[in-house]
């Protein structure tokens, strides 16, 4: 952010957004309590404007910070639509991490996840993270066109028999041929949340955000299903290059509403009749780059403004034959969704499974009340679910719905793996 923009934010009654910082160990989903979080304007890092301490769940409260006006993100503009802040996190026994360029949009909550490496670790820490511009505002290479359906008659092209949502994907942080670029193991949902936060604005209509997320997920699952890069001799799933795939940014913040929508629909992708593979749904911004027969991001925003729902937006660009499908399997999840909400009064094995997972999570997150895995959904289980939902950014209902069930499974897998690695 320029000094001019900083002065604007300080003096001209701008809008506000919220920033929450979640601090955890570099080994996984283990929160770090009493970490010090300092916030300053990017471009003026010497002047701290907020200093807070993380709670037992490794989180700060939502901090209200100045942003540019909402209208900057609603039309293509030369004015930067988001504010940029620098977050510096330190804790006793850990290496300090600084994240520059954390993006805040008006009226939206931004969540910055920071992983700290212990000072006695043998691993090389990434101490300074710089978040580049959103693709709608910055300059990035346009997508090189590909066929939306990959041929199935070529030897070795299609190796999976069904569509599976992977637990992890490997992101190559550069062009496919860049052998110097790092590879990162990223959970599938975290990857989708990161890309969506990097390529659209969280201030846009809900239907527009859903349409774009579905396009991102379908494209990604096509890469997974066809093993596109592995069949070309590479050891990764997808790249961070906009010329080939999507813009993924190591260590960036994500927006809460984008995160919530991904949690709701992460099993979905886009299909056409008699086509087994997810559709490679390519798109462009529609302003700096034109892409006939593809979705344009700004165009999808305007359709959302007009009241189009997400499938109407997608069919406007990709044709009336496209429809939403659901993956057959989720890799790495210990128990599948029971197909009905669990709430006070529910009983049975699915309740017991959920309670056992939540009880294990509470050992890492002590704010969650300890519960017995007795298969009876009572008030104490409800209270534990509510606290879990609050910590992990879900609507606080006390009901284990589809997003909550899979979030509990996700966190349970994370904390148990860490326990196995570090008994």
**What is d(CA 238, CA 176) in angstroms, rounded to the nearest whole number?**
8
- Do 182 and 316 fall into the same domain? yes
- Do 126 and 177 fall into the same domain? no
Chain-wide mean pLDDT for the chain? 92
The answer as to whether 151 is a domain residue is no
- Do 315 and 368 fall into the same domain? no
Tell me how many domains the chain contains. Answer: 3
Residues 6+ apart with CB under 8 A from 43: 1, 2, 3, 5, 6, 84
pLDDT tens column, 183-200:
999 999 999 999 999 999
- Do 168 and 307 fall into the same domain? yes
List the one residue out of 92, 98, 102, 97 whose CA is nearest residue 32.
92
For residues 213, 214, 220, 222, the Cα torsion angle rounded to the nearest 10 degrees is -170
pLDDT for 156 equals: 44
- Do 265 and 358 fall into the same domain? no
**What is d(CA 115, CA 26) in angstroms, rounded to the nearest whole number?**
5
- Do 314 and 376 fall into the same domain? no
Cross-strand pairs, 320: none
pLDDT at 420 over 70: no
pLDDT for 124 equals: 81
The answer as to whether 388 is a domain residue is yes
- The residue-averaged pLDDT of 225-233 equals 94
- Do 311 and 401 fall into the same domain? no
Query: What confidence category does residue 122 fall into, taking pLDDT thresholds of 50, 70 and 90?
Result: confident
What CATH number does the domain containing 401 carry?
Answer: 1.10.101
Q: In angstroms, how far is CA 21 from the centroid of its own chain?
A: 15
- The residue-averaged pLDDT of 354-373 equals 96
Q: Which of these three, 130, 146, 176, is where a domain ends?
A: 130
- Do 378 and 277 fall into the same domain? no
pLDDT at 416 over 60: yes
Residues 6+ apart with CB under 8 A from 154: none
Residue pair 329/164 in contact (Cβ under 8 Å)? The answer is yes
- Do 119 and 238 fall into the same domain? no
SS3 label, residue 229? coil
What φ, ψ does residue 101 adopt, rounded to 5°? 85, 20
Predicted TM-score (pTM) of the model is 0.92
The answer as to whether 56 is a domain residue is yes
The answer as to whether 13 is a domain residue is yes
- Do 325 and 354 fall into the same domain? no
The answer as to whether 156 is a domain residue is no
- Do 359 and 264 fall into the same domain? no
Q: Which of these three, 79, 106, 130, is where a domain ends?
A: 130
- The residue-averaged pLDDT of 305-311 equals 98
- The residue-averaged pLDDT of 159-166 equals 79
| Helix H or strand E encompassing 46 | strand 44-53
The answer as to whether 335 is a domain residue is no
Range of the domain at 401: 349-421
pLDDT tens column, 44-73:
867 889 999 999 999 999 999 999 999 999
The answer as to whether 148 is a domain residue is no
Half-sphere exposure of 30 (CA within 13 A, CB side): 15
pLDDT for 160 equals: 58
- Do 120 and 187 fall into the same domain? no
The answer as to whether 55 is a domain residue is yes
pLDDT for 4 equals: 47
**What is d(CA 79, CA 176) in angstroms, rounded to the nearest whole number?**
33
pLDDT at 216 over 70: yes
């Amino acid at each position: 952010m320029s000094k001019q923009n900083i002065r604007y934010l300080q003096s001209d009654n701008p809008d506000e957004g919220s920033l929450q910082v979640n601090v955890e160990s570099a080994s996984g989903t283990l929160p770090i309590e009493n970490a010090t979080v300092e916030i300053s304007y990017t471009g003026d890092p010497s002047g701290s404007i907020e200093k807070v301490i993380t709670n037992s769940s490794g989180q700060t409260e939502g901090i209200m910070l100045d942003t540019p006006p909402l209208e900057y993100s609603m039309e293509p503009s030369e004015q930067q639509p988001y504010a940029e802040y620098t977050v510096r996190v330190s804790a006793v026994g850990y290496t300090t991490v600084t994240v520059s360029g954390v993006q805040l949009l008006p009226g939206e909550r931004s969540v910055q996840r920071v992983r700290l490496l212990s000072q006695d670790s043998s691993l090389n820490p990434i101490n300074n993270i710089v978040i580049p511009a959103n693709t709608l505002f910055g300059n990035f290479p346009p997508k090189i066109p590909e066929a939306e359906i990959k041929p199935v008659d070529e030897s070795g092209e299609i190796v999976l028999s069904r569509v599976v949502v992977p637990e992890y994907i490997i992101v190559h942080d550069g062009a496919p041929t860049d052998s110097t670029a790092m590879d990162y193991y990223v959970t599938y949902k975290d990857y989708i949340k990161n890309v969506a936060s990097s390529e659209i604005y969280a201030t846009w209509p809900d239907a527009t955000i859903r349409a774009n997320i579905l396009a991102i997920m379908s494209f990604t699952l096509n890469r997974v299903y066809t093993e596109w890069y592995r069949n070309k001799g590479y050891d990764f799933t997808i790249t961070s290059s906009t010329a080939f795939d999507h813009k993924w940014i190591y260590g960036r913040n994500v927006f809460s509403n984008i995160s919530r929508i991904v949690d709701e629909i992460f099993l979905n992708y886009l299909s056409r009749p008699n086509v087994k593979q997810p559709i490679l749904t390519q798109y462009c911004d529609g302003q700096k780059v034109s892409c006939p027969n593809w979705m344009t991001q700004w165009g999808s925003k305007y359709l959302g403004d007009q009241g189009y729902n997400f499938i109407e937006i997608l069919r406007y660009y990709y044709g009336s034959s496209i429809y939403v499908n659901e993956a057959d399997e989720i890799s790495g999840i210990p128990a599948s969704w029971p197909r009905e909400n669990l709430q006070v009064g529910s009983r049975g094995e699915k309740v017991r499974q959920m309670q056992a997972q939540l009880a294990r999570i509470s050992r890492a997150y002590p704010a969650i009340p300890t519960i017995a895995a007795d298969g009876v959904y009572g008030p104490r289980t409800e209270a534990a679910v509510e606290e879990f939902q609050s910590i992990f950014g879900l609507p606080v209902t006390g009901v284990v719905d589809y997003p909550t069930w899979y979030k509990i499974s996700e966190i349970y897998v994370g904390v148990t793996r860490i326990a196995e690695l570090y008994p």
